[in-house]
Copies of this chain bind each other. A is one copy, B any other.
């Protein structure tokens, strides 16, 4: 299995509900350094897993929608704690949608799975990975 991974980042504010979170129940924020790893069993004729330029643009576009925002005010996340692991899933779903719409170019239907990792500090990160639906 081949992988290609590109990196971006976003800087957001949010707060969490639940005693579990202690002081993180207060409004605070985070820088997330975000890795998107695309996996495919075979390379394209050009020798790539995915067009790395388009992959980088797609990741940037997804992060741009969240960057410099207070996620507590984003209706997509109503009644939801925007934990690092939850946001990893969010980025995964949004990338999968872009893949489904063909935004990553011809050949991206070969992609088998995707892993999104959000680094929140030098001592903690979270990730979500899953299979990608086969394009029709």
Q: Roughly how many angstroms separate A86 CA and B40 CA in the complex, as a whole number?
A: 12
- A3-B85, A7-B122, A122-B122 as given contacts; A12 in contact with B31, CB under 8 Å: no
Beta-carbon contact of B124 and A67 below 8 Å: no
Q: Main secondary structure on chain A at its contact with chain B?
A: mixed
Interface size on A, residues (CB 8 A): 64
In the assembled complex, which residues on chain B have CB atoms less than 8 Å from the CB atom of A12? 28-29
What distance in Å separates the Cβ of A112 from its nearest Cβ neighbour in chain B? 13
What residue in chain B is nearest A2 (Cβ atoms)?
Answer: B85
Q: Roughly how many angstroms separate A17 CA and B82 CA in the complex, as a whole number?
A: 26
Can you list 23 pairs linking A and B with CB atoms under 8 Å apart? A1-B130, A2-B126, A3-B85, A3-B125, A4-B125, A4-B126, A6-B124, A7-B122, A7-B124, A11-B29, A11-B121, A13-B13, A13-B29, A20-B46, A27-B69, A28-B29, A28-B69, A28-B70, A31-B31, A43-B89, A47-B83, A48-B85, A122-B122
Which residues of A are at the interface with B, using a C-beta cutoff of 8 A? 1-9, 11-14, 16-18, 20-24, 26-33, 43, 46-49, 51-53, 56, 67-70, 80-86, 88-89, 105, 117, 120-130
